[in-house]
A and B are shown apart, each in its own frame.
Chain A
Amino acid sequence: MTLMQSLLGAAATVALTAGAALAEPGLVIDMGGKFDKSFNEAAWRGAERWKAETGGSYRDIEMQQEAQREQFVRRMVDAGSNPIVVLGFQNMATLEKVAPDYPDTRFALIDGVVDLPNVRSIIFAEHEGSYLVGLLAAMASKSGTVGFVGGMDVPLIRKFGCGYAQGVLAANPNAKIIANFTGTTPAAWADPVKGGEIARSQIDQGADVVYAAAGATGIGVLQAAADAGVYSIGVDSNQNHLHPGSVLTSMLKRVDNATYEVFKAGPAVETGIVVMDLAAGGVGWALDENNAALITDAMKAKVAEAEAAIIAGTLKVHDYMSDDSCPAITF
């Protein structure tokens, strides 16, 4: 038993040192990795902005294994982090299991809904943002053919593609949309080489605007479009600067704002469902000095009109995930 006692002693020491830490916010990053130039990186940027503004510190961790989903969230709680932002819909099940064990800690889940009193569920209206960039794509396209490169083939990414297709057809009812997914496993989020291959194949089929909704895989898509001299559309973060003049725009998903707001509110952050839609500034499209020359006034006017209509509720963009089907495209 002496061995076991020393083991327990060590465990207690670890627990004590962990408990002594001040309550600082935590960020649990899903498997795609922190620097995916897209979804995860947006959250990290939000956290960094909070850090720069408040001088506070936070703890972050990237997952590598399925079993680490639960482990790292628990570890964050043990280390005294509160509130804890957890990224990715695949962690819905994680929080459903873990959150009830820690009623004094508040969690914020991005991209999924968990109905628990200490969880803030943040969801985005990606279909609305994708609709807007779909309009831009159709107006920028000369060939009348546009492409969509999704990451892993899951309903969430089909939601991007469906909104995009609706936008494209709204601006050009005769447009042809080529939609492909990078893969069927989570590796599809981090495969820029394959993303580039798919983009090239779409360009060969006539696509002259390619929208990438694929996390880090999108970097390859943007590169392929730049190499071929056609347009691409970035996703989640503003990716216009990656290839100025080639990236037409980026569909912004303000994961950074969502993370920043949770960190700023601190342990008293409000729980419940938060919908980050177009009206709430949760999604949008990027216009900066890198793509200003690509977006004409006519395009701006058309998108502004659609924005106003979506916010007013007169234009409803179909959400793929509401019924697992899409009127504008079959995947």
Chain B
Amino acid sequence: MEALPKWADAVLVPLISIVIAFAISALVILAIGENPLEAMRLMVEGAIASTYGWGYTLFYATNFIFTGLAVAVAFHAGLFNIGGEGQATLGGLGVALVLLNVAWPHWTVALAAAVLGAMAFGALWALVPAWLQAKRGSHIVITTIMFNFIAAALLNYLLVNVLKPAGQMDPATARFAAATVVPKLAHILGAVGIPFNPRTPANIALVLALVAAFLVWILLWHTRLGYQVRAFGKSEPAARYAGISPVRITLWAMLISGGLAGLMTVNTVMGEAQRLVMNVSEGAGFIGIAVALMGRSHPVGVVLAALLFGFLYQGGAELEFWTSITRELIVVIQALVILFTGALDEMVRAPLARLFVAIRGRR
């Protein structure tokens, strides 16, 4: 029998980790002479007390849901995909190429095409490291992180030399046609009578992200492929013995993972910027690792963790805007949360497990 009950593992451990992270952040804020309670109030107010705040919190959360799911799927196959950045970069390229080169009559068709473009490009970028891992045993951690740099360099080259409109200095593509503008969350909610700040970037990609989370759940727990992925991740020899092909599972898991990472650009490139800029992924690929860790690689957990990080991003921005707390310190706070929820997870779990065992022993 496991030392920790399931609910404690899924809820209590992350919760305690967050509390510790915030407590240390409070000390840091105190040390620079600001009021931590006031800071917390500003963050909460700025991130979730208005539809303006929600508009940004959900926008960031959408990115993190996609990248978190991407990492989670690979995790289940025992693969550590830290190439979300590069896969998202290529996904953005896919979105831009699809939207720039075809005169789409309506945003619905454009959205479908952009989704396919983002997934295809992101998946193909993950395919190379996957193939190298499956066939050549090149470690996926090394190859995926290297591919992040290659992706950044490739996009830079393409933007500066190919995609940039003549005479423009900013290394970015032209704006996409007006017909490809997708509805914002404000429009969707407005249609059902809920007023929402229209000047925020949250858009229909949030719905896509939630659908993706549901589909990942179906895939992992209700399909043959998902079963094979999880079996392979738990024990490769056992999976091999059961007739599961390691090459096939590695390739599929990474293709799906890369596709999901690429999808985040439907939110940023198509939903927000309406053009492709150099800095497509903005670290969301890395945040996805923390999100997946914190969310226990379960879609529901990923969505919740993504919301937390969306809150941290938007709340952090507000904190920076209204106080003299610098952006470096905001990064410190975000990093503390990542550190405690992701990396130092065991630090909380082990004592907690002992505690549960002790309580049980007394009964």
Binding site for B on A (CB under 8 A): 4, 7-8, 10-11, 14, 33-34, 61-62, 64-68, 70-72, 74-75, 79, 89-90, 92-93, 101, 112, 153-156, 184-186, 321
Question: Which of B17-25, B121-129, B195-203, B220-228 is the contact stretch?
Answer: B195-203
The listed residue with most B CB atoms (<10 A of its CB), out of A74, A90, A101, A321, is A90
The listed residue with most A CB atoms (<10 A of its CB), out of B50, B169, B201, B331, is B169
B35 CB within 8 Å of chain A: no
Q: By the criterion CB–CB under 8 Å, are B195 and A4 in contact?
A: yes
Q: By the criterion CB–CB under 8 Å, are B268 and A66 in contact?
A: yes
In the complex, which residues of chain B have a beta carbon less than 8 angstroms from the beta carbon of A89?
169-170
Q: By the criterion CB–CB under 8 Å, are B321 and A8 in contact?
A: no
Q: By the criterion CB–CB under 8 Å, are A72 and B321 in contact?
A: yes
6 closest cross-chain pairs (CB), A and B: A11-B50, A184-B156, A10-B49, A62-B327, A185-B152, A184-B153
30 CB contacts below 8 A, A to B, read: A8-B195, A10-B45, A10-B50, A11-B197, A14-B45, A14-B49, A14-B52, A61-B321, A62-B326, A66-B268, A66-B272, A66-B282, A67-B60, A68-B317, A70-B201, A71-B56, A72-B321, A74-B199, A79-B321, A89-B169, A90-B170, A93-B277, A112-B170, A153-B156, A154-B171, A156-B169, A185-B152, A185-B279, A186-B279, A321-B169
B244 to chain A, nearest CB (A): 39
A85 to chain B, nearest CB (A): 16
Cross-chain contact of B169 among A11, A34, A154 (Cβ < 8 A)? A154
Cross-chain contact of B160 among A7, A68, A112, A153 (Cβ < 8 A)? A153
In the complex, which residues of chain A have a beta carbon less than 8 angstroms from the beta carbon of B279?
66, 185-186
Q: By the criterion CB–CB under 8 Å, are A11 and B51 in contact?
A: yes
Q: 20 more A-B contacts (CB under 8 A) besides A11-B49, A64-B331, A66-B277?
A: A7-B49, A7-B51, A10-B49, A14-B49, A33-B327, A34-B326, A64-B317, A64-B330, A65-B317, A67-B59, A67-B60, A67-B272, A90-B170, A93-B275, A101-B199, A112-B170, A155-B160, A185-B152, A185-B278, A185-B279
B236 CB within 8 Å of chain A: no
Q: Chain B residue with minimal CB distance to A92?
A: B170
Q: Chain A residue with minimal CB distance to B154?
A: A184
Q: Mark B71-96, 1 if CB is under 8 A from A, else 0.
A: 00000000000000000000000000
Q: Chain A residue with minimal CB distance to B284?
A: A65
In the complex, which residues of chain B have a beta carbon less than 8 angstroms from the beta carbon of A321?
169
The listed residue with most B CB atoms (<10 A of its CB), out of A4, A7, A65, is A65
Q: Mark B40-77, 1 if CB is under 8 A from A, else 0.
A: 00000100011110101001100000000000000000
Binding site for A on B (CB under 8 A): 45, 49-52, 54, 56, 59-60, 152-153, 156-157, 160, 169-172, 175, 194-195, 197, 199, 201, 268, 272-273, 275, 277-279, 282, 313, 316-317, 320-321, 326-328, 330-331
In the complex, which residues of chain B have a beta carbon less than 8 angstroms from the beta carbon of A70?
201
B169 to chain A, nearest CB (A): 5
How many angstroms from the CA of A71 to the CA of B54 in the assembled complex? 13
In the complex, which residues of chain A have a beta carbon less than 8 angstroms from the beta carbon of B160?
153-155
In the complex, which residues of chain A have a beta carbon less than 8 angstroms from the beta carbon of B197?
11
How many angstroms from the CA of A153 to the CA of B160 in the assembled complex? 9
Q: By the criterion CB–CB under 8 Å, are A66 and B273 in contact?
A: yes
In the complex, which residues of chain B have a beta carbon less than 8 angstroms from the beta carbon of A156?
169
How many angstroms from the CA of A62 to the CA of B323 in the assembled complex? 12
Cross-chain contact of B313 among A7, A65, A74, A92 (Cβ < 8 A)? A65
How many angstroms from the CA of A114 to the CA of B326 in the assembled complex? 29
In the complex, which residues of chain B have a beta carbon less than 8 angstroms from the beta carbon of A4?
194-195
Given the interface pairs A67-B60, A71-B56, A156-B169, the reply to whether A7 lies near B268 with Cβ below 8 Å is no
Q: By the criterion CB–CB under 8 Å, are B45 and A93 in contact?
A: no
How many angstroms from the CA of A67 to the CA of B49 in the assembled complex? 20
How many angstroms from the CA of A185 to the CA of B159 in the assembled complex? 11
Q: By the criterion CB–CB under 8 Å, are A64 and B327 in contact?
A: yes
In the complex, which residues of chain A have a beta carbon less than 8 angstroms from the beta carbon of B278?
184-186
How many angstroms from the CA of A89 to the CA of B278 in the assembled complex? 13
How many angstroms from the CA of A71 to the CA of B330 in the assembled complex? 17
In the complex, which residues of chain A have a beta carbon less than 8 angstroms from the beta carbon of B49?
7, 10-11, 14
In the complex, which residues of chain B have a beta carbon less than 8 angstroms from the beta carbon of A72?
317, 321
Q: By the criterion CB–CB under 8 Å, are B50 and A7 in contact?
A: yes
